[in-house]
């Protein structure tokens, strides 16, 4: 009698638990299939939007600048001319500035009377967009209204990073800072590739000096014949 009553009391609960378990498994299975389908759909959508661009003649990366970049902005708040303070935002992120020269069809060389070679390479240009490490991006807002306005102001500041970094990369100070490193890279390129071509074998061990097209080349003395080295 007692066992029968206990069985009667437990059976509805066990049955309800079993039904709940089956429904839960069905729900999880349906969600997993739905997530898989969504991921598959996104995968194919991204492939459909791929665009392949080729730079004519190719590019030679000549230098990199690694720099922790900091950005700040101030947004004042007022009501009917009454100063209510400001929201100040700060973003700090590691950035890598890359620079290149174009491998144009022709490189200008000047063979000097002492046997050295002067290379006039294309002007160095920044490779854009500037790369940033978003995993290490730090954001901070301060000010009496930052609890309400901080997120929006930080988002607005972050949207300006790409253009601000591009402007920095092309600035005279950044171009000048990397120029010596770029000069060394081009000199190595000339020694390892250009001067190993058959027509330049006699210059393999020559001293190589590199100038860029945006430097005052016209003031150089004419110390030897100017020649053109064709790519390929």
pLDDT digits (tens, 9 = 90+) for 38-84: 444 444 444 455 665 666 778 999 999 999 999 999 999 988 889 88
d(CA 29, CA 21): 12
Neighbours of 161 (CB within 10 A): 19
CA distance 165 to 137: 14
Give dist(CA 174, CA 27) in Å, integer: 57
For the stretch 127-178, pLDDT in tens is: 999 999 999 999 999 999 999 999 999 999 999 999 999 999 999 999 999 9
**Residue among 6, 37, 224, 35 at smallest CA distance from 115:** 224
Instruction: Provide the percentage of residues in the chain whose pLDDT is more than 90.
Output: 46
What tokens were used for 16?
């309800």
Q: What are phi and psi of 6, to 5 degrees?
A: -65, -40
Mean pLDDT for the stretch of residues 82-89: 92
């Amino acid at each position: 009698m007692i066992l029968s009553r206990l069985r009667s009391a437990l059976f509805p609960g066990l049955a309800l638990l079993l039904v709940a378990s089956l429904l839960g498994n069905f729900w999880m299975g349906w969600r997993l299939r739905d997530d898989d389908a969504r991921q598959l759909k996104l995968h194919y959508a991204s492939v459909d939007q791929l665009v392949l661009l080729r730079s004519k003649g190719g590019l030679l990366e000549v230098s990199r600048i690694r720099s922790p970049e900091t950005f700040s902005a101030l947004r004042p708040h007022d009501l009917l001319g009454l100063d209510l303070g400001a929201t100040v935002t700060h973003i700090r992120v590691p950035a890598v500035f890359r620079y290149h020269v174009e491998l144009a069809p022709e490189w200008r060389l000047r063979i000097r009377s002492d046997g050295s070679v002067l290379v006039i390479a294309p002007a160095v240009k920044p490779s854009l967009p500037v790369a940033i490490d978003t995993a290490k991006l730090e954001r901070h807002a301060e000010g009496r209204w930052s609890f309400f306005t901080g997120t929006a102001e930080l988002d607005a500041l972050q949207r300006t990073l790409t253009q601000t970094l591009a402007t920095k990369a092309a600035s005279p100070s950044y171009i000048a800072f990397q120029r010596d490193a770029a000069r060394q890279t081009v000199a190595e390129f000339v020694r390892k590739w250009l001067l190993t071509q058959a027509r330049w074998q006699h210059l393999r061990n020559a001293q190589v000096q590199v100038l860029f097209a945006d430097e005052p080349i016209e003031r150089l003395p004419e110390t030897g014949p100017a020649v053109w080295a064709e790519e390929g």
